[in-house]
Amino acid sequence: MKATIDDVKVQGKRVLVRVDFNVPMKDGKIVDDRRIRAALPTLRALRERGARVIVVTHLGRPKGKVNPDFSTAPLAAHLSELLGAPVQMLPGLVGPEVEAAVNHLANGDVAMLENIRFDPGEEANDEAFVVKLAALADLYVNDAFGTAHRAHASTEGIAHHLSAVAGYLMAKELEALGGVLENPRRPLVAILGGAKISTKIGVVENLLRRVDTLWIGGAMACTFYRALGKEVGTSLVEEEWVETASKLLEGAGKGRGEIKLPIDVVIAPEAKAGAPTTTVVWTEIPADQMVVDVGNETCARIAEDCRNAGTVVWNGPLGIYEIEEFARGTRRVAEALGASSATSVVGGGDLAAALDQAGVVDKISHVSTGGGATLEFLEGIELPGVAALQEKVAL
Catalytic residues: 35, 196, 349, 372
Alpha helices in the chain (DSSP H): 34-38, 40-48, 73-83, 96-103, 120-124, 127-134, 168-182, 201-208, 220-227, 242-251, 296-308, 328-339, 350-358, 372-378, 384-387
Question: Sign of dihedral through CA atoms 230, 235, 238, 244?
Answer: negative
Residue 205 vs residues 125, 245, 248: alpha-carbon distances, Å: 31, 10, 8
CA distance 215 to 226: 16
CA distance 152 to 158: 9
CA distance 343 to 364: 8
* Per-residue buried b or exposed e for 356-368, using 16+ beta carbons within 10 Å of the residue's own CB: eebebbebbebbb
- Give CA angle at 92 (89, 98), nearest 5°: 85
